[in-house]
Structure 1
């Protein structure tokens, strides 16, 4: 094989390798390496409230698959919108300097996105879709160095003084423990003041046991 043939072959192999890599990796505007989904029909959703619990998310997104734990910097967990179903305020993330929110990364089918919108009352103007970069974490809760672009939902008109119900916080804590969020973070959530409303039937439903 001649020298030019070798060069052409090397170039082709290089392009093929680059295509393979870009199928799994991308670059955001800040030139950070970003892990992306290799399947265009799916996206990564960041659950930080009741959707930490897989059986809760699978009510609207049956294909939801746990992909790991991540950290959202510059935000804090809050409860800012009334929920008739839960008898208290539902979860939100508010921008906060130095804030940290831990959550679950779920891959879901894009075809299920409208059903998740319905769960989050997007059409009623309660929540809106947002996209943020999160840090992927390893089993020791250390950053892997990979930034992942995720879908999350935020409250459109937050009321920061609201509090969640007892049953709602129970679901959040069950999900946080199940996926293995940092113990200190889980403990902090457990100390959040709640309304006395509890509902064992509702709890069992979202535990997947009803």
Structure 2
């Protein structure tokens, strides 16, 4: 959700809306190549669960790069979804984890990227608090940690 991180990877990216999907929840259960947990919107079917996010529009010519950044074929698959926004219901593409492990903690720098995006998008405070409450661990690769922390500021 971090606009700076998305635009650094996909220069055409423009935010068009924020919204939510009912019957989903945010979890960090996607097994990453580095062994940490990454975000996933897990379908629960419960009307009490909501996952919030940002809808970006990108050039079709950047789609292959987007898929590569998101890990299509190595842990995520694209999925068409309907998102409730202030402007009404919209169709969007999200990436759903295909390789999951419950209870997998994210690295602290990754969780920070998620929080930066949540704050930028002015997501509901109770939702942001749930992200803040997620247990995160330190990345043993200090080079990666420093690089990714500076990118989220």
Runs of 5+ in structure 1 lacking a partner?
Answer: 1-51, 138-143
Alignment root-mean-square deviation, CA: 1.7
**TM-score, normalised to structure 1's length?**
0.65
Secondary structure of 1:58's counterpart equals: helix
Q: Are the aligned partners of 1:60 and 1:112 in contact in 2 as well (CA < 8 Å)?
A: no
Q: Are the aligned partners of 2:116 and 2:152 in contact in 1 as well (CA < 8 Å)?
A: no
- After superposition, what is the alpha-carbon deviation per residue over 1:20-67, rounded to whole angstroms, capped at 9, x for unaligned? xxxxxxxxxxxxxxxxxxxxxxxxxxxxxxxx1012112332100011
After alignment, is 175-184 or 126-135 more displaced?
175-184
Q: Are the aligned partners of 2:18 and 2:55 in contact in 1 as well (CA < 8 Å)?
A: yes
Of 89, 104, 111, the match for 1:162: 104
Looking at structure 2, the residues matched to 93 and 123 of structure 1 have their Cα atoms a distance apart, in angstroms, of 17
Matched residues, number = 147
- Using CA pairs under 8 Å that are at least 6 residues apart, name the structure with larger relative contact order, 1 or 2: 2
Aligned to 1:203: 149
- After superposition, what is the alpha-carbon deviation per residue over 1:142-188, rounded to whole angstroms, capped at 9, x for unaligned? xx5x2100000001132122111111111111111112111111111
**TM-score, normalised to structure 2's length?**
0.88
Looking at structure 2, the residues matched to 55 and 115 of structure 1 have their Cα atoms a distance apart, in angstroms, of 16
User: Within 5 Å, which residues of 2 pair with 1:95-110?
Assistant: 95-96=43-44, 97-98=46-47, 99-110=49-60
Looking at structure 1, the residues matched to 67 and 152 of structure 2 have their Cα atoms a distance apart, in angstroms, of 18
User: Within 5 Å, which residues of 2 pair with 1:1-210?
Assistant: 52-84=1-33, 88-96=36-44, 97-98=46-47, 99-124=49-74, 126-137=75-86, 144=87, 146-197=88-139, 199-207=145-153
Runs of 5+ in structure 2 lacking a partner?
Answer: none
